[in-house]
Amino acid sequence: MCGIAALFAYHPDAPANDVQELLRMREAMALRGPDAAGIWNNEDDRVTLGHRRLAIIDPEQRANQPMISQDGRHVVVFNGEIYNHPALRESLGRLGHSFQTRSDTEVLLHLYAEYGVDMLTHLRGMFAFVLWDRLAKSLLVARDPYGIKPLYYADDGSTIRIASQVGALLAGGRVSRQPDPAGWVGFFLFGSVQEPFTQYQSIRALPAGCFLRVTSQGTGAITEYFSLAATFLHAANHPNPWQPEKVAENVRAILRDSVQAHLTADVPVGAFLSSGVDSGALVGLAQETKKEKIHTVTLSFEAFHQDQRDEAPLAQRVAEHYQTQHVTRMVTQPEFHREIPAILAAMDQPTIDGINTWFVSKAARELGLKVALSGLGGDELFGGYPSFSDIPRWLKIARLARHIPYSGPMFRHLSLPLFQSLPGLGAKGASFFMYGASFPGAYLLRRGVFMPWELPALLGEDMATEGLQRLDVLAHIEKSMPPAPSGTFARIASMEASLYMRNQLLRDTDWASMAHSLEVRTPLVDRVVLQSLAPLLIQSQTARGKQWLAQAPKPPLPPEVVYRKKTGFTIPVQAWLLNHPQLDGWRHVPMLAHHGCHGSRRLAYAVYHHRSQ
């Protein structure tokens, strides 16, 4: 896990690269890679690559980056981990390639030399990399299938700038800070900026599962090499071949294989442990494959002490069940308040989440860990969210009612005062008949923080109108889904993974963990796992996958974990964060003061108010 930066002055009239700009970009990401720093500059000063390293695989100096191929043709900077690099190394060796390190970075160089851009289909892992071909004078920029690792670029028409963080591009000093209405609209609608937008007009995210080539002719079109929606559509057309009595056994084998792959490291690997099925099952599977006891970490908040929201007691039960080396880390209100400035500074893009990952990553690093497994992705993969039951039900109700007169904007206008007085409803309840009759609209109701018609009052008429037009939120959601007849499960799973998980959970996990120089790995967010399980999950169309997940470790998870009511990994945001003086900007906004307003809505405006100052 690292930080990468690159400059390519591709236009003949572009000025030569300023190495100091690259160094500013690189050092803005020092926490992503505290173990080593490197820079490489082409002979003509038109290609410059920088790297900050967190050493996980082959931590010796020989594996530092930027890394140059043995023949000198290719140079790469890489962020992430390639979990199948030992198998790739072996197959490349049979083709005549020889290696000087044990690193997965060197495997990338040889793999590109052998297969070109088709190398991307061979990779199992999380990655973002920039690779320069000195002979072809071509830059390849690529990102992993799920978008676990971030990658951003700013192209001014003559020079392209690339980095692992938005903040690093800004630190270079040559990128405009003009706000992007589409980025801010996406943030207010979902609580996170929607890819490929950022909060700045000049900066874009390279979409997940895509690559980009840059030559002297300019920046080429973004090319998609992997799609979650296409994977589900393919699975719908290829029924699950397993016999019913073999399903649990096969699911166990697939998950165990992924966990084993994600444990590949030359440093100790620990795990985040909550009271849920996802993290508990992964801990059980990880402990099966390890000779020594694995370190597990749980957060406990003093505000939840002896409360049903406290994760610690049940997590302790799971740790004892699998005999891990377990630590419960208590977070107090004073510590929470002390950390807020650092949290806001590390937050690379605005978000209403990630604070829990910040503190559990801090706890893991205090234990000396560089790597931790996370159960992130289990609900998206196995249908564990309420959206898998809510959206189909809402579709039926809204479609039955859509022919009723005044069930659209008029209903919203007349019913809003009533819904605002009812906790949990508010603007969403008033918008039900406007949006609930389509998959994208129902998803917006399920995941939305604000409704589109509320944004002019928050952002101003001009900014809201432009942002809504450019984001085109319903079309944005629609693009994440496989087309019919892939099935309801596939469509919701694809939306959750492409929108909520990618733009919120994975991005928050990245910035919050890297602020503590910790690499977080997600065995349930894995291309091979998805391709293997998708036919079964589509066929079952139920949440049975969570049962298969719970049964995967040996011994299986305790019943009190499996049948516990789902609560999510909660933190005392309302009491601790929204009363903090640094985030009180929401208080002057009338629409945020009423009884039915959720804390997440106040938090969204507080973050906006803070970051736009």
Q: Which domains does the chain have, with CATH numbers?
A: 2-225 (3.60.20.10), 230-383+490-569 (3.40.50.620), 388-481 (no CATH), 578-613 (no CATH)
> CA triplet 366, 371, 373: central angle to 5 degrees?
110
Task: Name the percent of the chain in helix, strand, coil, to the closest 5.
Answer: 50, 15, 35
**Tokens standing for residue 469:** 């037009």
Alpha-carbon span 329 to 143, nearest angstrom: 34
In three-state secondary structure terms, 330 is strand
In three-state secondary structure terms, 314 is helix
Residue keyed to tokens 């039915």:
596
Q: What element of type H or E holds 50?
A: strand 47-53
* Pair 343, 355: CB distance under 8 Å: yes
CB count within 10 Å of CB 100 equals 10
Alpha-carbon span 333 to 235, nearest angstrom: 47
**Tokens standing for residue 608:** 């906006």
Q: Tell which residue, 406, 582, 572, 388, has the closest CA to residue 492.
A: 388
The reported pLDDT for the residue numbered 170 is 98
> Three-state SS string across 90-141, please?
HHHHHCCCCCCCCCHHHHHHHHHHHHHHHHHHHCCEEEEEEEEECCCCEEEE
Backbone Cα Rg of the chain? 24
Q: Tell which residue, 514, 507, 358, 360, has the closest CA to residue 29.
A: 514
307 phi and psi angles, rounded to 5 deg: -115, 150
End-to-end CA distance of the chain: 32
Alpha-carbon span 47 to 26, nearest angstrom: 15
Burial of 268 (0-12, 13-18, 19+ CB in 10 A): middle
Per-residue DSSP letter, 63: G
In three-state secondary structure terms, 80 is strand
The reported pLDDT for the residue numbered 301 is 87
The reported pLDDT for the residue numbered 593 is 65
Helices assigned H by DSSP within 226-325: 228-236, 247-262, 277-289, 312-322
> Three-state SS string across 208-242, please?
CCEEEEEECCEECCCEECCCHHHHHHHHHCCCCCC
Compute the CA torsion angle 204, 210, 213, 214 (nearest 10 deg). 10
Q: What element of type H or E holds 6?
A: strand 2-9
The reported pLDDT for the residue numbered 412 is 53
The reported pLDDT for the residue numbered 408 is 59
CA distances from 53 to 165, 172, 237, 501, 576 (A): 15, 19, 43, 26, 35
The reported pLDDT for the residue numbered 568 is 53
The reported pLDDT for the residue numbered 581 is 74
The reported pLDDT for the residue numbered 603 is 84
The reported pLDDT for the residue numbered 158 is 97
Q: What is the block-wise mean pLDDT of the chain (613 residues), using blocks of 10 residues?
A: 94 96 98 97 95 96 96 97 97 97 97 98 98 97 98 97 98 97 98 98 98 96 96 88 88 97 95 94 95 93 79 93 96 90 94 94 96 97 94 88 60 53 63 86 95 93 97 96 86 97 98 97 98 90 79 94 67 69 74 68 84 78
CA distances from 539 to 102, 244, 385, 544 (A): 41, 12, 18, 11
CB count within 10 Å of CB 463 equals 18
CB count within 10 Å of CB 96 equals 8
* Pair 361, 520: CB distance under 8 Å: yes
Whole-prediction pTM: 0.94
Alpha-carbon span 478 to 346, nearest angstrom: 31
> Three-state SS string across 520-567, please?
EECCCCCHHHHHHHHHHHHHHCCCHHHHHHHHCCCCCCCHHHHCCCCC
The reported pLDDT for the residue numbered 241 is 79
Alpha-carbon span 508 to 467, nearest angstrom: 23
| Dmax (CA) of the chain | 73
Residue keyed to tokens 């494959």:
289
* Pair 456, 462: CB distance under 8 Å: no
Alpha-carbon span 439 to 128, nearest angstrom: 31
The reported pLDDT for the residue numbered 531 is 96
* Pair 187, 348: CB distance under 8 Å: no
* Pair 275, 561: CB distance under 8 Å: yes
In three-state secondary structure terms, 179 is strand
CB count within 10 Å of CB 460 equals 12
The reported pLDDT for the residue numbered 420 is 55
**Tokens standing for residue 21:** 């700009």
Residue keyed to tokens 């490489």:
40
Q: Tell which residue, 512, 268, 523, 283, has the closest CA to residue 370.
A: 268
Q: Tell which residue, 302, 357, 391, has the closest CA to residue 504.
A: 357
The reported pLDDT for the residue numbered 592 is 76
Alpha-carbon span 510 to 218, nearest angstrom: 30
* Pair 525, 501: CB distance under 8 Å: yes
Per-residue DSSP letter, 64: -
CB count within 10 Å of CB 611 equals 16
